[in-house]
Amino acid sequence: MYLKFISLTVLCFLSFSAMAQPGSEVSHKDNSQLSQDLSGFKWKMKMMLPGEGVKAGLHELPPEDIETLVWNSAEVPGDVYTDLWKIGAIEDPYFGRNSVKAQWVMHYEWWYALQFNVTQDITDQLVRLDFEGVDYACDVWLNGHFLGSHEGAFSGFSFDINKALRTSKKYLASSNILMVRLAPPPQVNAKVAGRKTPWFGDYWRDLNPFGIYRSVKMVYTGKTRIKDVYLRPKIEADNNAKVTLEVEVENTEAFPKEITFISTIQGKNFKSDVISTSFTETIAPGKQTIKKDIFIEDAQLWWPWDLGKPNLYTSKLSLSENKINQDFKETTFGIREVKMAWNPGFTKDEVSFPRTTMINSKKIFIRSACWGGPPDIFTGRTSEEKYRKLIQLAKDANMNNIRIFGWHPSEIPLFYELCNEAGITVWNDIIPLGTGNLSHDEDFIATTIAEGVAVIKERRNNPSLIMMEGGEEMFLRSGDPAFTRNFLEQLGKALQEQVDLPYVPDSPMTDEPSQEAGYKPKEAVHALAYFYNMGHAPMEDWYSKLDFPIVPELAITSVPNIESLKKFIPENELWPPGLSWGHHWADLDRLRAQNFDAFGSEKTGSLQEFVEATQDAQGIIFQLSIEHFRRNKPETSGISLCHFITYWPDMKWGIVDNYQQPKRSYDYVKTAYQPVLINMQFQKRRWLHTDIFKGKIWVVNDFYTEYDDCVANYTITNHSGKILDKDTFNIAKIEENSSKAWFDLKADVLKNIKDNFYVHLELKDKTGEIISKNNYMLLIGDHDKAAKEFKAMGSEIRQRNETYKYSNYNQFFDKLTRENGAEYESQTDTVTARGFKIKTQ
């Protein structure tokens, strides 16, 4: 997940002149927290056998010494693999099958060192060393002083360093050395589930990421300091709001102190008056939480972009003692409330939870995709620019939500900041729980839940965060469903004590172990059966039978663009597909079958044809499935595609590849996710020449806006664009937040069409402005005959899986008798490779 851009690189001498000094008299308006980001390129790294670094005395290196100058260069935030790749110690793990060659890295410990000078006077100050995130386990020393250890990738941790820190106006006397030992990462996910990102799943290979992946900072405060700030909003009558300021504060001295809290709140992205509040509290020694209600008249609510404006507020909080500054905290927040409503059409014997999201009392249909992130599994490779581009791509695709699901971790602050600003909501599995086989040990349970609490506390001020989930397919793999349910409910209770947000324990909870645990048969659906049971039924026969209140995953695969392929597939393996395709999870059998279902052809004539066909097939299946679920609103209340992005270059789920390049499928999703969507329901994609083509035209409206006196039209064309039929219909009123069938389409035009035909839809408002457009490609053919052929392909796939096992990419390379895995058939122009026939050029 995580970011390598630098807030402020460590200099030889640390300078704080631009920041407010704790222990000095500073106006609240001009206040800021004195801190120093230790991010940058001045870090050094060294490899040691496990346990040997301490034996060798690396932690005792004198701060004045220059021995670390010859260590390898490193960057923080970052990760071990990226640092090694940059210095040439390993080949790019993303390219070809290099990740296999880099597996040795995760069996060593890695020492990270930073040398710096501090000339700051710290009299009457506390200096704290904050680690925002280390994956997974580390030990920390400063100037030979052992500060402590930490385990858990997502919970930040801190050390008070006054006793260990060296400060002076003299160069050598001001020298400091920070030493961090990264332990070899864990090798069994079940032992660290929820506290480390799973490094497995059918889109990654066995290479376990680790590193100092978030910032390290030195923070200077007075003897009373802010540990956490939460602004808990509640909407009241007459557009007013009550914001409860909840401040966790620590008095580090042994006697009570009178502390004045000075708070100002004002609009961040809109103009507003400044709301000022000041109060004094007696703060006992130790940590405690102080609460204060602040009332905001005519509050500007935060809305998703399709319901309103994403209004944000800035809170500034100062602590002072006798007018002397102690600490300062600035926080961005939004005023919004989230509740859940029961989905109509499903009884409480069928579902356990309400699954319709209500934001500020308005129902919202979730148009989402699983983040599939972070943008890079090796976090040293990502950047702020990548995050900004990806969030913009999500909004441009008409998404109003991003789902962070349980195979991936909660994101860094920048992600939520961008979603706050864009008006994109976040459906968040709070910690990555991708397995149900957890330890029953009470300490394990307690530390895992504590990790979740730490994660939600850091993120709860973000108004974009609207839904919490406990796990991902945990029951699917649970050997003890009753224990899994109890654990997830404990986790949910702990999370909801920290934030007013809805929570569901797991997804999908429609499997047998979930039923055994007491959940209901229609909770949600992971719409993955088309892919995993490829050939069972054509796409339209599959999706039309799905009837659930919410769809947390809808998954189809495709191949990235050729430009992207060339960045991670060796040239001699591009076409015919080489072994690196399999290493990057290209399921060639299923891709061929998917192409056949979409086009009536496997589309293996060339690399360009195959790649484009896989992307168009993915897009067509996504489009038709999305439209099916959206027509079913309000019974169905949301869809999340699997995935939006991918965290390494693969041949799997994403509609945007690892190089931030949208696939052709992205445009299909963008169309299907139009808030106002004209669409066509039909029974089959293949039609006989003797058929009369039939369809039903619907309009789905996710806006809270009515449209009067609209005009809808359709045009049917052949492959060359010749118009075969067209018509126009009047629609008196499209209701707000609605889904309705408006008219039947019948056309006797199929007699002379050879291959494909196309239906074009258009919806105009009363001013003549186009408010929705849509297109469909349909085939001339026999649906029943094609379904049998598709089923036979599925049987072949399953037979190969029985021989090789799914995910063993050797199943696609059983003809390796020639260079590049190709067996030429006598002197013909056909080459049999990777289990399918390809015409050579």
Q: What is the pLDDT of residues 709-761, one digit of tens each?
A: 999 999 999 999 999 999 999 999 999 999 999 999 999 999 989 889 999 99
Mean pLDDT across 686-701: 97
**pLDDT (mean) for 563-571:** 97
Which CATH superfamily groups domain 224-333? Immunoglobulins (2.60.40.10)
Q: What is the pLDDT of residue 834?
A: 46
Distance of CA 705 to the CA centre of its chain: 30
The sheet that has 503-504: what strands, in order across it? 401-404, 425-429, 465-469, 503-504
136: cis peptide before it, omega within 30°? yes
Q: What is the DSSP pairing of strand 366-369 with strand 638-642? A: parallel
Q: Residue 836's pLDDT band (boundaries 50, 70, 90)?
A: low
Give tens-digit pLDDT for 481-503: 999 999 999 999 999 999 999 99
Q: How far is CA 208 from CA 155, 181, 473, in A?
A: 19, 17, 21
Instruction: Supply the pLDDT for residue 767.
Output: 96
- The CATH number assigned to the domain with range 13-221 reads 2.60.120.260
Cis? peptide before 184, omega within 30° of 0:
no
Confidence label for 17 from pLDDT (cuts 50, 70 and 90): very low
Average pLDDT (593-612) is 96
pLDDT score for 840: 44
Instruction: Say which range, 189-203, 244-258, 419-433, has the weakest mean pLDDT.
Output: 189-203
CATH 3.20.190.10 is right for the domain spanning 678-783: no
pLDDT for res 807: 67
Domains 224-333 and 366-568+621-671 share a fold: no
Over residues 167-176, the mean pLDDT reads 94
Indicate if the pLDDT at residue 794 is higher than 50: yes
In the predicted model, is pLDDT for residue 4 greater than 70? no
CA angle (422 as vertex; 416, 423 as ends), nearest 5: 85
Burial environment of residue 648 by CB neighbours within 10 A (0 to 12, 13 to 18, 19 or more): buried
Q: Flag whether pLDDT at 60 surpasses 80.
A: yes
477 and 228 in contact (C-beta within 8 Å)? Answer: no
DSSP state of 673: T
How much is the pTM? 0.94
Give me the mean pLDDT over the 399-412 stretch. 94
Element (H, E) at 789: helix 783-804
Does residue 77 contact residue 3 with C-beta atoms inside 8 Å? Answer: yes
Tell me the CA distances in angstroms from 809 to 97, 377, 578, 642, 652, one per residue in order: 12, 21, 11, 22, 13
Q: What is the pLDDT of residue 754?
A: 87
Are the C-beta atoms of residues 714 and 697 closer than 8 Å to each other?
yes
**pLDDT value at position 837?**
57
Beta strand pairing status for 526-527 and 551-555?
parallel
pLDDT tens for 503-518 read 999 999 998 999 999 9
pLDDT on residue 23 = 73
Q: DSSP for 478-541, please give it.
A: -S-HHHHHHHHHHHHHHHHTT----EES-S---SHHHHHHT--TTS--EE-HHHHTTTSS-HHH
Return d(Cα 578, Cα 612) in angstroms, integer: 18
DSSP secondary structure, 624-665, as one string: HHHHHHHHTTTTS-EEEEE-S--SSS-SSS-SB-TTSPBPHH
Token couple for 389: 């581009």
User: DSSP state, 344?
Assistant: T
CA distances from 638 to 453, 679, 765, 804 (A): 27, 17, 26, 37
Residue percentage of the chain with pLDDT more than 70: 93
Query: With 80 as the cut, is the pLDDT of residue 819 above it?
Result: no
Q: Is the pLDDT of residue 826 over 50?
A: no
- 8 A C-beta contact, residue 393 and residue 426: no
The answer to which of 50-54, 117-121, 568-572 has the lowest mean pLDDT is 117-121
pLDDT at position 202: 83
State yes or no: pLDDT of 71 exceeds 60.
yes
Q: Check whether 8 has a pLDDT greater than 60.
A: no
Check residue 812 and give its pLDDT: 57
Per-residue pLDDT at 7: 35
Residue range 150-166: mean pLDDT, rounded:
97
Place of tokens 């449209």: 707
Higher pLDDT, 191 or 828: 191
What is the CATH T-level fold of the domain 366-568+621-671, as seen in this structure?
TIM Barrel (3.20.20)
pLDDT-based confidence at residue 832 (cuts at 50, 70, 90): very low
Model pLDDT, residue 829: 42
Give the confidence band of 13 by pLDDT, cuts at 50, 70, 90: very low
Q: Which residues of 345-375 are buried (b: 16+ CB within 10 A; e: fewer)?
A: ebeeeebbbbbbbbbbeebbbbbbbbbbbbb
Domain boundaries, the chain: 13-221, 224-333, 366-568+621-671, 678-783
Kindly report, residue by residue over 74-106, the tens digit of the pLDDT: 999 999 999 999 999 999 999 999 999 999 999
User: What's residue 810's pLDDT?
Assistant: 64
Contact between 582 and 813 under an 8 Å Cβ cutoff? The reply is yes
